[in-house]
């Protein structure tokens, strides 16, 4: 009888052990779920993107890039301003981060010589196998080819010879937005235009999936027959013509200074 009682005395202990064992898979599953959630958060952080803005001559004539960077940062998007002469060092750093696993979208914006530099950067990064989500040149000094690793180019210019063109293998979106007919817009102040800043910021947000317009510029009726169209202007003035291309693009003017 006493032996039977001793055997029954162990039952609560056995039940407790079984209960703990039954809870272990659920605990492990909860831990795995937390780890997946943390991993997902890291992926979201890495995909947030970064905007690199490059100033032009002497690093003092393109302060509109600083103003635009502040507006981008105000939207919670990472942005930094650099001198155009740093473009290759900057591109090497971007490539190193990409190789290390940072797959955040890359956006390049530049004015004047900085506009030329962001086109050079796009091609250079292509040779290193790094994709570029968007390039926005503000009035570059010439016409450059968009490389195949670039997804989108939105060129803002008031020079008829500085239209960007498709390079070999480029299958992305290409827009040449001509601001030459806009009063008060010239090479020195095009980077400071609040209207263009709003357009670029909207484009950046769209590319990063944070809202904004997915078109390069609002369009009205074509200014003349052909694929070029005019972005809407808030004031009565000759509309800025934009050529947006998915499968084909408008050939740049052959005139040169």
Q: Each residue of 69-98: b (16+ CB within 10 Å) or e? A: bebbeeeebebebbbbbbbeebbeebbebb
The predicted structure's pLDDT at residue 213: 54
Task: Render pLDDT for 226-241 as a digit per residue (tens, 0 to 9).
Answer: 333 333 333 333 344 4
* Element holding 80 (H helix, E strand): strand 78-83
Secondary structure of 128-194 in HEC code, one letter for each residue: CCCCECEEEEECCCCCCEECCCECEEEEEECCCCCCCEECCCCCCEEEEEECCCCCCCCCCCHHHCH
CB 160 within 8 A of CB 253: yes
Average pLDDT score over residue span 42-63 = 80
Q: Where are the domains of the chain?
A: 47-245
Q: What is the pTM of this model?
A: 0.69
Of the candidate ranges 14-23, 185-194, 204-213, the one whose mean pLDDT is the lowest: 14-23
The predicted structure's pLDDT at residue 48: 86
Q: Answer with the residue of higher pLDDT: 206 or 247.
A: 206
- How is domain 47-245 classified at the CATH fold level? Rossmann fold (3.40.50)
Task: Render pLDDT for 97-149 as a digit per residue (tens, 0 to 9).
Answer: 999 999 999 999 999 999 999 999 999 999 999 999 999 999 999 999 999 99
Which two tokens mark 249?
């693009």
pLDDT > 70? residue 2: no
pLDDT > 90? residue 159: yes
Average pLDDT score over residue span 191-195 = 97
pLDDT > 80? residue 52: yes
Collapse the DSSP code of 69 into the 3-class scheme (helix H, G, I; strand E, B; otherwise coil) and give the result. Answer: helix
For 153, phi then psi, to 5°, come to -130, 125
Report how far residue 67's alpha carbon sits from residue 24's, in angstroms, rounded to the nearest whole number: 55
Q: Answer with the residue of higher pLDDT: 101 or 242.
A: 101
Roughly what angle, to the nearest 10 degrees, separates helices 11-46 and 2-9? 10
Q: Answer with the residue of higher pLDDT: 88 or 218.
A: 88
The predicted structure's pLDDT at residue 141: 97
The predicted structure's pLDDT at residue 42: 42
pLDDT > 50? residue 157: yes
The predicted structure's pLDDT at residue 60: 86
């Amino acid at each position: 009888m006493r032996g039977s009682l001793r055997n029954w005395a162990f039952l609560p202990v056995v039940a407790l052990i079984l209960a703990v064992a039954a809870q272990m898979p659920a605990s492990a599953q909860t831990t795995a779920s937390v780890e997946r959630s943390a991993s997902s958060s890291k992926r979201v952080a890495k995909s947030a993107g970064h905007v690199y803005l490059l100033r032009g001559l002497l690093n003092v004539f393109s302060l509109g890039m600083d103003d635009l960077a502040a507006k981008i940062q105000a939207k919670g998007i990472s942005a930094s301003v650099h001198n155009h002469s740093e473009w290759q060092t900057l591109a090497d750093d971007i490539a190193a981060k990409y190789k290390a696993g940072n797959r955040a979208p890359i956006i390049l914006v530049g004015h004047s010589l900085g506009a030329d530099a962001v086109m050079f950067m796009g091609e250079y990064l292509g040779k290193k196998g790094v994709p570029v989500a968007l390039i926005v040149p503000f009035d570059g000094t010439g016409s450059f080819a968009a490389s195949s690793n670039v997804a989108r180019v939105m060129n803002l210019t008031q020079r008829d010879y500085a239209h960007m063109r498709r390079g070999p293998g480029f299958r992305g979106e290409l827009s040449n937005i001509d601001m030459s007919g806009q009063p008060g817009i010239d090479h020195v102040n095009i980077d400071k235009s609040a209207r263009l800043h709003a357009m670029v910021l909207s484009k950046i947000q769209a590319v990063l999936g944070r809202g904004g317009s997915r078109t390069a510029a609002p369009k009205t009726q074509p200014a003349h027959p052909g694929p070029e169209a005019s972005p809407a202007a808030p004031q009565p003035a000759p509309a800025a013509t934009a050529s947006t291309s998915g499968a084909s693009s408008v050939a740049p003017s052959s005139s040169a200074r």
